[in-house]
Amino acid sequence: MIRGTTRLIAHIGYPTHTFSLANIAGALITMPHKVTTVALLDQASPAVEIAGSCNAVRRAPDGRVQGDMFDGEGFVRGIGRKGFRLQGARALVVGAGGVGSAIAAALAAAAAAELTLFDARPESAAGLAQRLREHYPRLRVTAGSKEPAGHDLVVNATPLGMKQGDPLPVDVSRLGGKTFVGEVVMSEEMTPFLKAAQARGCRVQVGTDMLFEQIPAYLEFFGLPSTTPENLRALARIRY
């Protein structure tokens, strides 16, 4: 049994001999285990350390259990595929929970110049800002504002939009027409927030794009043959 694997597999509910099998490359981690799995890793990626959660683990050749987080990677791949240039950009991330933290980490890794963070719990945004500064000292990070004006990218990483009548995450009247707007809510293709942003001339990314973009990243992480988001969408049946 490899170091750390007995603890990890027992924790997520699999028999403790699972990782001794030669054909087990790793595992995908879902809620409610994403956060508690972090403490069981031998090696965590910067995305995991910043987000405080993990959604994929693999067995390294030397026996260590490595963990990574791909929600943010999926989001960043999606906006890049749509032609948004992230290097040097200013981004506002509204929501500093698991998915918002993962997206912020991926934006920093992709060389965004400045991040503004907001959360209904100020301490969550402040904590995320501090973790980002520790990993990316040159990144300009501020917390506490959700003013969208002046940002190249605005991300809704909150649950707002999942329920009818939810308020919009930011004041869309303050969005510039050249701002790219991204969404993580998947309850419908075009959420009220995306519709409002599009009406102002903004390019947008729907919530499911993050999901389809991160699946190829998972496959690459495990060293498996990959695919494309286009192929995945063609095969998927999405019901809203």
Pair 54, 78 in one domain: no
Tens-digit pLDDT profile for residues 44-77: 999 999 999 999 999 888 888 899 999 999 999 9
CA 60 to CA 153: how far, in whole Å?
36
Question: What is the Cα–Cα distance from 212 to 223, expressed in whole angstroms?
Answer: 18
CA angle 78, 79, 80 (to 5 degrees): 90
* CATH number of 135's domain: 3.40.50.720
Are 124 and 99 in contact by the 8 Å Cβ rule? The answer is no
Q: How many domains does the chain have?
A: 2
Cβ atoms within 10 Å, residue 236: 12
Range of the domain at 127: 71-209
Question: Residues 145, 118: contact at Cβ < 8 Å?
Answer: yes
pLDDT, tens digit (0-9, with 9 covering 90-100), for 214-234: 999 999 999 999 999 999 999
Question: Could you tell me if residue 221 is left (phi over 0), alpha (psi between -120 and 50 degrees) or otherwise beta?
Answer: alpha
> Per-residue pLDDT for 8 more than 80?
no
Whether 116 maps to a domain, the answer reads yes
Identify whether 220 is part of a domain: no
Q: For residue 9, is it within any domain?
A: yes
Average pLDDT over residues 162-188: 95
Whether 107 and 117 map to the same domain: the answer is yes
Exposed, middle or buried, 108 (CB in 10 Å: 0-12/13-18/19+)?
Answer: buried
Domain boundary among 69, 90, 113: 69
- Nearest-CA neighbor of 70 among 60, 57, 80, 83? 57
Q: What percent of the chain has pLDDT over 70?
A: 90
Q: How confident is the model at residue 213 (pLDDT cuts 50, 70, 90)?
A: very high
In the predicted structure, residue 32 carries a pLDDT above the cut 60: yes
Q: Which of 6-10, 119-123, 162-166 has the highest mean pLDDT?
A: 119-123
Q: Which two tokens stand for residue 179?
A: 């701002």
For residues 230 and 10, which has the higher predicted lDDT (pLDDT)?
230
Give the containing element (helix H, strand E) for 141: strand 140-143
pLDDT digits (tens, 9 = 90+) for 128-155: 999 999 999 999 999 999 999 999 999 9
Sheet with 56-59, edge to edge strand ranges: 26-28, 56-59, 65-68, 43-44
**Residue 146 known to be catalytic:** no
Residues 110 and 151 both lie in one domain: yes
Same domain, 131 and 187: yes
pLDDT tier for residue 22 given thresholds of 50, 70 and 90: low
Say yes or no: 45 and 91 in one domain. no
Catalytic residue among 34, 82, 163, 195: 34
Does one domain contain both 62 and 84?
no
| 224 occurs within a structural domain | no
Both 9 and 122 in a single domain?
A: no
Bridging pattern class, strands 56-59 and 114-118: unpaired
Is residue 201 a part of any domain in this protein? yes
Residue 62: count of CB within 10 angstroms of its CB: 10
Q: What does DSSP say about strands 114-118 and 90-94: parallel, antiparallel, or unpaired? A: parallel
Q: Are residues 186 and 155 in the same domain?
A: yes
Query: How confident is the model at residue 63, as a pLDDT?
Result: 80
Encode pLDDT of 88-121 as tens digits: 999 999 999 999 999 999 999 999 999 999 999 9
| Residue 13 shares a structural domain with residue 103 | no
Looking at the fold, whether 63 and 78 belong to one and the same domain comes out as no
* CATH code of the domain covering residue 53: 3.40.50.10860
